[in-house]
Every structure is written in structure tokens, then in C-alpha cells.
Amino acid sequence: MPPQPRTRIPRRYRLLLAIARQFRSDIDEMQIERQIVAVGDIISFLYALPLAVVGIIWLTTQTDWSLFLDRPWELLLLTGLFFVFNYLRFFLIVELRANRYGSTDGSLAGIVLWSGMLLYGPTVFWLAVIGTLIEFITVRVNTTSPTAHWSQARNVALNLAGNTIVALTAYTLYQYFGGTFPLSTMSLEMLGMAFGLLLANFILLINLWLPYLVYATWSQRVLAGTEQLYSVLYFFYMAIGLPHLAHPFAILAAGLHTQSGIPAYLFFISGMLIVAFLSRQLSWSSENSRQQSRMLQNLERLGRAIIDAPPHTEDLPEILAEHLTLMFPAGRHVIWIFPEEELAKYPPDWKPNLEAIWPWLLDQTEGVTFLAHEPLPWNHGDSQHNPMVIAAIKDGETGQTFGGVYLELYALAQPWDRRALLNLLPAIQSLAAQIASATNQAKVYSQTLEYERLREELKLAGQIQNSLLPSVFPDMTGWQFAVTIYPAGETSGDFFDIINMENGRIGLVLADVLDKGIGPALFMTLSRTLLRTYALDFEFQPDIVLFATNERILKDSSANLFVTVFYGVLDPQEGTLIYANAGHNPPILLRSGDDASIDLLEKTGLPIGIEEETAWENRNIQINPGDVLVLYTDGIPEAQNGTGEFFRRQTLEKVINDNIGRSAEGLQQAILDALYEFLGDVPPQDDITLMVIKRDRLAEG
């Protein structure tokens, strides 16, 4: 559930919301937490943007353009050092509330910036302006979320204002109290004025960010209560204060440059570069350690909760929702079971494209990471995405994938490179294993109950299976249709299906699973489902339908069963039938006319479930007025009487020929009467399925 406000939202917020609505049309559809954050970003951007524009104009008037001609190499050196320090950025990530993080990064580039100002004046502030704009463009290109774009726009506007109007105001105060550049001496008086410059800049910068701080503390109080206000204040002052702690060393750098020249300056800066590198590595190590500790702690809690839960999966979504929100870094996640049973999802209104991901995930043996903008194998047309980690949930016994864990990460100050994503992968895979264990535990429990109830439920299973068969038969003008099925036991391995297609065409399925009992019955249900699914995908390609069904059955089933299938598509208007026969008894087509010839619709390939990469051949026949097509399973020709004789196909052909003039239902009854007369008192040992299709003769004019 989305977090609910704990205090009454004031009227002033409604005014701010109305302003923000002009810039984000989707803001009213957001949950209250996301909406408050989005409003803060937009309003902060709007109030900081004019200050940034004024600051850039002011900086333009204060720039000594002759420096670019008089001292190009020194400015170029400062530029290089500035961007090297910026590359060696450290970062800070603070959890403000559940699954809501504040992140900031900083660098020691201020040493270069302020030492340059003390040497060359405010012209050097252009380095910060250019660096901010470059960072904005980079983030804009590498993120896809509108929320991330607005957050970055807020930071850019405030940083531009801080690096221009705030810095120039502090510089003006510095000049007013007698400060000069270049820094002439390292006297106590000059050091004091230089330090006052940096202190004034820091105080003014805090005041620049103060409106955003006020809004942030209000939103924290609304969403999380007053007990968590400390985290916002801590993050705010750390975000602004950490980079400024190193700024006083800029005074020393400028003094060394003035007294001893560039070599002494570079020697000192080299030491600061080492400090910057160590700070970056420390922030990496600290954040990775925090993440690993957090994930392991929550994985342990999740494992205990799963063990203590009842041996079924009904409570699993609630358990996952309780533990996953705090397990991973800021982002969104979904855990699902094929095809779209979502066990856990955050945020609740997110709609990931699981249908596209699933076919690809089936073939994955290990977890996979994707950096931002890396091509996605299931989405070739769009590479706009955040960094993500994906792992399959596999059955512990069969190794078959039946679900997945999908984690998509938001942009934080920590760079999501391959190393950072791989650090998350073990926890993701451990989570997938825990879910697999829980579902397997539930499966074993269910199987135990199922075995205990098996005898009582055999009859119900037969009824349910029978309900899967078509209950409404096609009404085809000029055609007669009759079908029946007699299971040898409570359940059947035979099945038939009638599939309505476009333009009045009818899909006809008759199939027989090897053996009898619950296993073949379940295999029959799987086969029927797959055949019907692929029949609608490939309407006029029976060979492709059989191929796709065969491939999926061999991947999804280890039952060592196979099924013979006759599948055809009948066009009642034209009287044409295109079919493929997967090892099934050849249907009998009795031609009308004086010769009453018989055509057998022979096998065009192996049964389904034997070999991968098996191919079938399509064939076409014409059913003329007066013709009769009889489809049957081997329970008829292989029926055996008390003396051990078989009914045989030849007997079936004779019965059909002797009753060609009867209706479809009459012919069906004649075949069954002949069969049961042949069996006598011996009950059928196999399932019997019979389908009769007759095309009416044309009315004479």
C-alpha cells in the first residue's frame, strides 16, 4: 500500500501542486509520496532558474576575457585538474524513509576552483558552470525517468545559482573587505579574508538551498512523521558540507602558487588527487558494504519467515512485501510466477512487460545484468531503460524455469556500472532460490494432500477433464457433425477439440496420449492447451502448430509420454481440409459415388513428445458433397474381444461403407453398435473417441 499522509496537507501545497501540474501532466496520477517529491523538484527548479540566469549574466560581466589570451596554458591546466577531480567524485546515499533514498555526490574540485579564483579572479567560475552543464547533459542522456530528469534539473539550477550568483556575492564581499587576487601574501590578515570568502560562500549556499530544505522537512513530516526528520537534516548538511570541508586547502594551494610557482602548486594538488581517489574508493566500499549487509540481513529474515510460514504459498506475497521493500537499493522490482502471477511488486502501479521478458528468461541459466541503454534481448526496438538485474526462479528438481526476479534500479549518486550490478547479483539469485524452495515446499505439501485425496477425486478429475471438451459444436450449413468419447476409466488419455477460427473455418483435433491414468490425463490437458494456443497463433499451418507444441512439451515435461495427434483446418465453404498427422490412426475419407473409394489420411510425421526438431508435412484434401470423414482413436481398431481377436481398421471401413447413406449421428451409432457387438461382455480396455463429419449432398435443381 502507498504511504498515507500523517498530517493534514496545507492549502499552500495545493497552490504548489497547481503550478507543478503545468509542467507534468501525470502528476495527479502519482501516489502521494511520489507526487510530493515531484512537486518539490519542479518548484525548486522554478525558483532557482531565475537566480541561475542572473548569476550567469553577472559572471559574464565579471569575466576577464583577456585571461584566455594572456594565460591560456594556466587556464587549460586548471580546466584539466578541475575535470580530473570531478571524475574522482565521492558519493553519499542516505535512506530517508522506507525505500526512499537521498543521494548526492561531491568532489575536491572546489580546491581547484577556489585556488584559481584567488589567483585569477571570478573568471575561473566558468569551470563550474561548464562542468554542471556537461553533467546535466550526461545524466539526461543516460536516464529515462521523467522523475530523474526533474530531479537533475533541480540540482542543475541550484548548482548554477550556487556557482554564479552565490559565489560572486561572496567574492564581492571579499573585495569589499580588502581581499585581492592574486593572493599576494600568506599573512594572517590575507588568510583570514580568504577564509571569510569561503565561509561567506558556504553560508550563502545554505540559504540558497534553504527553501528546498524547508519543503523536504515538511514532506518528511507528512510522509514519515517527525521521528525521521533527523535523516533529512543530516543528509542536507552532509551533502552541502562535505565538499566544503576541503575548500580551505584552496588557500594553501593559491599561496604556494604565489610564493613558489606552479611546481609547488602541482605537488600539493597531486596530494589532493590521492585524497580524492581514496575518498572515491572509500565511498564505493562503504556503500557496497552497506548494501551487502542490508541484503544479507533481510535475506536471513526472509528465510526465517518462509520457514515459519505454513507449507503453502498463500502467505508468500505478504511475506515478500514485508521484507523486499527494504532489501535492495532504490528502484522497482517484481517477482512473478509464469505466466503473470505477481508475488511481489513495487511500486504497485508499475506495469512491467512480463510477457516479453518471459520467453527470454526461460533459456537463462544464471542471473543477468544490464547497464543503462544496453540492448535488451526481449526488446530490440528500445534501449531506453535503467540498470537492471534479472534472475530466473528454477525448480530444484527439474531445473525448469517457472518464475523470475526483476530489479530495475533508479539513478543515485552511486554509478551503476557492471561491478556495482554484479555485487547485487548474489543476493538476487539467493532470493530466487528462497522463492523456489518455498514454492517447492508448497508443491510437495500439495502433492501429499493430493495423494491422500486421489481415490476420492478420481471421479471429479474425470468430470473436470470432460468439462474441457467442447460442449457446443459448430453449426455448419451443409454439414453434419457427430462426436463422442468413452473413457476406459475415470480419466481419459483421448481428447478432441473444435476450434472456431476466422472466416468460418474450423480447427479439428483428435489425439491420444500413450497409456492411461492420471499422468496421461494431465499430459492430455497440457497437450490440448498447447495445441489450442498455437492453433490460434498459426491458423493455416498445422505443421507449425504441431512443431511448436512438440518443442514446448519436450521442454516443459519430463513424463516420457507422447501423444498422437490429427490436426486439420476445415473450410466449410470450399470443402477443403488442410491437415498434419502426428502418428495418429489415419482418418478414413469415404468418397460418395458408385465406386465408394476410400482415402486414408496417413501419418505425416512422428507423434508429439518423442524427438526435438521433428517436422511434419501439411496435406490437402477436398471433401465433396456426400463424402464422409471418420476420425477415431486406436481404442476402436485395437479393441480386443474375449477370443483375442482385434476389431481392426478393415472392419471399421466396412461398417462405414455399409452405412454411407445414414446421417453423421446414425453412422456414428452404427460404428459403436458394431464395436460393442464385437466385444460382447468384454469391457473396452482403451479409451474410445469417434468423430464423424459428413458433407450433405447438393440439392438437385
The answer to whether position 337 is within a domain reads yes
> CATH number, domain at 414?
3.30.450.40
Say whether both 529 and 579 belong to one domain.
yes
Please tell me whether residues 591 and 628 are part of one structural domain.
yes
Q: Is residue 1 part of a domain?
A: no
Does residue 290 lie in a domain region?
no
* Same-domain status, 233 and 328: no
- Alpha helical stretches, state H, 469-541: 518-537
Q: Is the pLDDT of residue 172 over 90?
A: yes
Give the type of residue at 630: V
**Residue 39 is inside which H or E element, if any?**
helix 32-62
How many other CB atoms sit within 10 Å of the CB of residue 282?
11
Range among 43-52, 239-248, 272-281, 348-357 with highest mean pLDDT value: 43-52
* Spatial separation of the C-alpha atoms in residues 672 and 257, rounded to whole Å: 109
Burial of 327 (0-12, 13-18, 19+ CB in 10 A): buried
CATH number at residue 493: 3.60.40.10
Q: Which of 224, 264, 312 is nearest to 119 (CA)?
A: 264
Domain count, the chain: 3
pLDDT band at residue 17 under the 50/70/90 scheme: confident
Query: Is residue 652 a contact partner of residue 637, using CB atoms and an 8 Å limit?
Result: yes
Residues in the chain: 701
- Distance, in Å, from the CA atom of 131 to the CA atom of 141, rounded to the nearest integer, reads 16
Sign of CA dihedral 398, 399, 401, 402: positive
Q: Residue 119: give the domain boundaries.
A: 11-260
Distance CA 378, CA 360 (A): 6
Q: For residue 483, what are the contacts with CB-CB under 8 A and spacing of at least 6?
A: 473, 496, 498, 668, 689, 690, 691, 692
- Give the chain's end-to-end CA distance (angstroms, integer): 73
| 386-428 pLDDT tens trace | 888 898 888 877 888 888 888 888 766 566 778 878 888 888 8
581/383: higher pLDDT: 581
Residues 229 and 325 in one domain: no
Cα–Cα distance for residue pair 218/232, rounded to 1 Å: 10
DSSP 98: T
The torsion angles phi and psi of 394, rounded to 5 degrees, stand at -115, 145
Q: Measuring CA to CA, which residue among 420, 402, 242 is closest to residue 331?
A: 420
- CB atoms inside a 10 Å sphere around CB 290: 13
State how far the Cα of 509 lies from the Cα of 567, in Å rounded to an integer. 5
Shared-domain flag, residues 514 and 378: no
pLDDT in tens, 97-135: 555 555 667 788 889 999 999 999 999 999 999 988 888
Apex 136 CA angle, 130 and 141, nearest 5: 130
Closest by CA position to 562, among listed 493, 472, 461: 493
> Cell 583577456 maps to which residue?
66
Domain ends where: 444, 479, 508?
444
Distance CA 515, CA 512 (A): 9
Instruction: Give per-residue pLDDT as tens, 126-164.
Output: 999 998 888 888 777 766 678 778 888 888 999 999 999
Strand partners, 104: 92
Helix (H, G, I), strand (E, B) or coil at 443: helix
